[in-house]
Structure formats: C-alpha cells, structure tokens
Amino acid sequence: MSCRAGFVWLTAQHFNRYIDDLGISCELVTPYILAAPFYRGRFNCLIIPTGFGNAQFSNLLPALRASSDRILKFVEDGGNLLVFGAAAEKPDAYDWLQTPLTYHHDIHPRCVTSGSPSDAGSIIDDYYPGRIECDGSFSAQDWEHVCVAEGAPVVLERRNGEGRIVVTSVHEYPSREFLKRFCCSGKETVF
C-alpha cells in the first residue's frame, strides 16, 4: 500500500524529511499550486504545518481560503487532513474549514491528556505528556475533543464524509506511529 502526503508550505522544511523517513512519499504543495484550479495531486493526506495563519511566516492562509471547497472535497472523498496551529492571534484562521472553530494563540508547555477513544490522541506518544509545547488552544463545537490541556482542547477531530480532519496546537512533530497510521489510513484521493 502506498502512502502519499501533500505538505502545504512555500518551501521544503525538516518536517518533509521527517515524513519521508517514515516511508511516506511527501510532496511539497506551495500556496500557488494549492490555489491553482488546474492542479491535481493524489494524496492520502494533506498536512498544514504550524504558522499557516501568521503572515510573518507564510502566505498560506489566502490560498487555504481560496481552495477551501477543494480541500473539503478531498476529505469527503476519503483523504485525511492534519492541521497545526495558526501561530497568530487570529480567531478566524480556521474559517476555511467551514465549521465553527476558534483558535487562541498562547505558546507554552502544557500537561496534555487524552480522554478520547480516537487514535488521534497518539499524536503525542513520542513525548512526555506532562510537558508538551503547545502554541494555543481551541474553542469548538461539533468537534471531538481528543486531547486537552488546562481545560481547553489542543487536539480535535472531525469526520467528514469518508475522511477525517485532525486539528492540533501541539507544537511538536506528531508521533511516528500516529503519522504513519494517519497518512496511510486515508484513501488516495485526487486533490
């Protein structure tokens, strides 16, 4: 079974190599490609890294908003979407997901606990849960609260059609096992 991830950012990062080292084929998808209506990549998952909502780090947010319908169609058709913290105090940074979700930027280490049966809680398995760097928290309804810290969700999950969306403010690479499972469980879908 092939596992293909689309990593959405302007340039390649260390995160790309981390994904490749897990045996997952990782393709860089720039904001320009993401927003281009003619682009047709095939992936099991799309990954939006930390900082997408901060104009000092990226110009990704306008491209995410422009391709919102395509991203949600990708998930509905069976692809998985992993989204990290916006890294800016922009409560509307996740409006492109077209479901109520508010982000509160506040970076510091936290004690993270999982009380959910979802395997998305394994995103923190490579770390000591009593002190995990998080860049914020969320306010959300209609999302499963997978992991919480200081009484607020830091990992959320939502099923959408045949795929799923995991949103996290954990400011670390996801655990190896989580990333392999998440990327390979998505259906290879045209974006």
Look at residue 1 in the predicted model and tell me its pLDDT: 61
Amino acid at 27: E
CATH of domain 4-190: 3.40.50.880
Residue extents of the structural domains in the chain: 4-190
In total, the chain counts a number of residues equal to 191
Q: How many other CB atoms are there within 10 angstroms of residue 52's CB atom?
A: 25
State the residue for tokens 């981390």.
18
> Whole-prediction pTM value?
0.96
**Residue 37: what pLDDT?**
84
Q: Which residues of 133-149 are buried (b: 16+ CB within 10 A; e: fewer)?
A: ebbbbbebeebbbbbbb
**Residue 79: strand, helix, or coil:** coil
> What DSSP state is assigned to residue 11?
S
The three-class DSSP label of residue 97 is helix
Distances from the Cα of 71 to the Cαs of 8, 40, 101, 163, 171, in angstroms?
12, 12, 16, 11, 23
Q: What is the pLDDT along the chain (191 residues), one digit of tens a residue?
A: 679 999 999 999 999 999 999 999 999 999 999 988 888 899 999 999 999 999 998 999 999 999 999 999 999 999 999 999 999 998 899 999 988 899 999 999 999 999 888 999 999 999 999 999 999 999 998 999 999 999 999 999 999 999 999 999 999 999 999 999 999 998 998 88
Helical spans, DSSP H, in 60-128? 60-66, 68-76
